[in-house]
Structure 1
Amino acid sequence: MHSSCRIVFMGTPEFAVPSLKALAAAGHRIVLAVTQPDRPAGRGRKLEASAVKRAALEMGIPVFQPKSIHLPESVRMLSEAKADLFVVAAFGQILKPVVLSIPAQGAINVHASLLPRYRGPAPVQWAIIRREAETGVTIMQMNEGLDTGDVLSTATVGIDATDTGQSLLERLSHVGADLLVETIRNYDRLKPLAVAQDHTQASYAPMLKKSDGRINWAKSAEDIDALIRGTIPWPGAYTSMNGKRLKVFRAKPETGLLDAPPGTVLRSPSDELWIAAANRPISLLEVQIESGRRMPIGMFLKGHPVPAGLVLS
């Protein structure tokens, strides 16, 4: 494809912003940025613009926020943009054929997994929770399925033992932006070589629910650690202590013998809090009790002594 093409960009969260900026930096003309409507956020439930809307306005790109991309006025607006290509990155609405057929060169998607694994809205979080060693980014040709299109290019990224949903998503957003620019540069060559996904190998990464953050102490210490990291920044991992919700932000599997059922507070060094998991103890490093502040465990224990033998649920 020629070095400058007309692009309609569709994206919503922070993950999509590096792709938007990289396309502009590569000399492409972003004729329209399409993003989700402003949503209530924070304690005051004030309407908040998406990360893509904020970035697009700073860049002087017109913004369009349809309730549905398939309404007749949305389809008309997209048609009038006369785009060579639609580029989609975590937009939040599935595109039907009426929209996919508009751009001359089709529509491509930046997805934060190695497809066909982890299709769906939360691939990064589930890859950590399920303790994958690596993940990556796939650029695919869009069809009307959910992340089922032919693969144009991929980049693999290792998952570190300290990665959170937030840190890994941030890293993948930049890898994805670079891969996107390179894929569009070689689009004419890559398009006929696009590889159909093996649907028998597909797995799904559903949207996380609040309840997905509840710690099951009957799992291994490694699984619990992965859940804690994978649910950052949302919904966050939590347990129940004396009837109050205790959020856990960081933990570390320890070595040691267990002589107590899962969830039991173990005898541990004075400024540490060790809990029995299925296979070994896990040490909680940073927590927040309901209506309290987030704090390192040593500071927390000064104000909230936790006796050995107490059971968390």
Structure 2
Amino acid sequence: MRVVFMGTPDFAVPSLKALVEAGHDVRAVITQPDRPKGRGKKYAPPPVKEAAQSLKLPVLQPAQVKEPEFIEQLRSYSPEVIVVVAYGRILPPAILSLPEHGCVNVHASLLPKYRGAAPIHRAVINGEKVTGITTMFIDEGLDTGDMILKEKVPIFGEDTVGDLHDRLSVAGARLLVETLDMIGRGRAPRIPQTGESSYAPVLTGADELIIWDKPAQDIYNLIRGMNPWPGARTYLGEKMLKIWRAGVLDDEQTLACPGRVMGTVREGVLVGTGRGLLVITELQMQGAKRMSAADFLRGTPAPLGVILSNAPGKDGMR
């Protein structure tokens, strides 16, 4: 099939490569503009652009997808289908109606659950045991179009969002190829979304904060759901402390002072929560590199009795 592909982050790269390997005629790749990245704020291309260039595919990076000039350029490629995988922009009706077979999306959840921008993060943060991939025909709503195929993907107890992201991206690529095969043969179903829906809004800075009044299991899920990006954070005195890995040592004990550093064990640093004990096993102090809690303790005395906080300068002894 003649395909125009729209995608931006790492998640979309396996899908683009799978289309090419399956023999589809990818006429053009649309991705977001290069953005400043890192401490030096040098402009860096999106992962999809790098992948497209390695495959020698034409790349377009429009600032606005609603511009008539861009839409006419899309039309000139005569796509039979437009594939959208984590592009990051809402498409106008003029694009949705352009290809013969419509626009198809690969979404990282089992719709109608977790519609929106951050379905992988939210599934881990919420302690889900299963998520998956849905391919669907895009309509003018937010991830509300008719579904084509679904595939369940388990979430294991120690999965980070990075682990789950990688498995879902591979599953999504496989399901996309199967979906286009069905569309090409005129056998793709249109299954309306029914049942309970939920929304997975984009992450904000407030989502990164550890609220120590919550149960240890909830905090553990937050830490998993923020690794490798953007990181769950708390504050040790004036300095930000990112916690990258942890474990639940006890999920029943009720403590008088959530956030208090209670002691150390072989695995790391014990912190009280609203219910149970959390053991921090990998962390990163502001201005320092990521390290195991054991390495941290070799160079820094255990801050016993200190209370971790959700704002700088608010720790103390109680």
TM-score, with structure 1 as normaliser? 0.95
Q: Which of 236, 245, 266 is residue 241 of structure 1 equivalent to?
A: 236
- How big is each residue's C-alpha offset from its partner over 1:86-145, in whole Å with a ceiling of 9 and x where there is no partner? 000000111121111111111100000001110111100000000011100000001111
Counterpart residue number, 1:196: 192
Within 5 Å, which residues of 2 pair with 1:139-178? 139-178=135-174
In 2, Cα distance between equivalents of 1:33 and 1:41: 22
Counterpart residue number, 1:7: 3
Q: Does 1:311 align with 2:283?
A: no
Residue identity matched to 2:220: D
In 2, Cα distance between equivalents of 1:292 and 1:94: 38
In 2, Cα distance between equivalents of 1:241 and 1:226: 21
Counterpart residue number, 2:201: 206
Residue identity matched to 2:243: V
Within 5 Å, which residues of 2 pair with 1:87-166? 87-166=83-162
Counterpart residue number, 1:42: 38
CA positional deviation for 1:209: 1.3
In 2, Cα distance between equivalents of 1:271 and 1:254: 10
In 1, Cα distance between equivalents of 2:198 and 2:70: 32
SS of 2:166's partner is helix
Within 5 Å, which residues of 2 pair with 1:224-263? 224-255=219-250, 257-263=253-259
In 1, Cα distance between equivalents of 2:266 and 2:46: 45
SS of 1:217's partner is coil
Q: Which of 260, 270, 276 is residue 272 of structure 2 equivalent to?
A: 276
Quote the RMSD (CA, aligned, Å). Answer: 1.4
- How big is each residue's C-alpha offset from its partner over 1:152-206, in whole Å with a ceiling of 9 and x where there is no partner? 0000000011111111111100000001101111124443x311112x6111111
SS of 1:173's partner is helix
Residue identity matched to 2:278: I
CA positional deviation for 1:211: 2.3
SS of 2:149's partner is strand
The count of corresponding residues between Structure 1 and Structure 2 is: 307
Residue identity matched to 2:24: H
- How big is each residue's C-alpha offset from its partner over 1:49-91, in whole Å with a ceiling of 9 and x where there is no partner? 1111000011011001101111011101100000110000000
In 2, Cα distance between equivalents of 1:269 and 1:137: 39
Q: Is the 8 A contact 1:265 1:275 kept in 2?
A: yes
- How big is each residue's C-alpha offset from its partner over 1:218-247, in whole Å with a ceiling of 9 and x where there is no partner? 111111111011012222101111221111
Counterpart residue number, 1:67: 63
Q: Is the 8 A contact 2:112 2:196 kept in 1?
A: yes
Which sits farther off after the overlay, 104-113 or 208-217? 208-217
SS of 2:115's partner is coil
CA positional deviation for 1:260: 3.7
SS of 1:82's partner is coil
Counterpart residue number, 2:180: 184
In 1, Cα distance between equivalents of 2:222 and 2:187: 37
Counterpart residue number, 1:219: 214
SS of 2:265's partner is coil
Q: 1:161 to 1:176 in 2, by over 3 A?
A: same
In 2, Cα distance between equivalents of 1:54 and 1:308: 48
Q: Is the 8 A contact 1:264 1:310 kept in 2?
A: yes
Q: 1:111 to 1:259 in 2, by over 3 A?
A: closer
SS of 1:186's partner is helix
- How big is each residue's C-alpha offset from its partner over 1:275-295, in whole Å with a ceiling of 9 and x where there is no partner? 001211100001111112211
Residue identity matched to 1:22: A
Q: 1:302 to 1:251 in 2, by over 3 A?
A: same
In 1, Cα distance between equivalents of 2:278 and 2:178: 43
In 2, Cα distance between equivalents of 1:244 and 1:267: 20
SS of 1:179's partner is helix
Task: Give aligned-pair identity as a percent.
Answer: 45
TM-score, with structure 2 as normaliser? 0.93
Which sits farther off after the overlay, 45-54 or 248-257? 248-257
Q: Is the 8 A contact 1:237 1:249 kept in 2?
A: yes
CA positional deviation for 1:270: 6.7
Residue identity matched to 1:95: L
Counterpart residue number, 1:297: 293
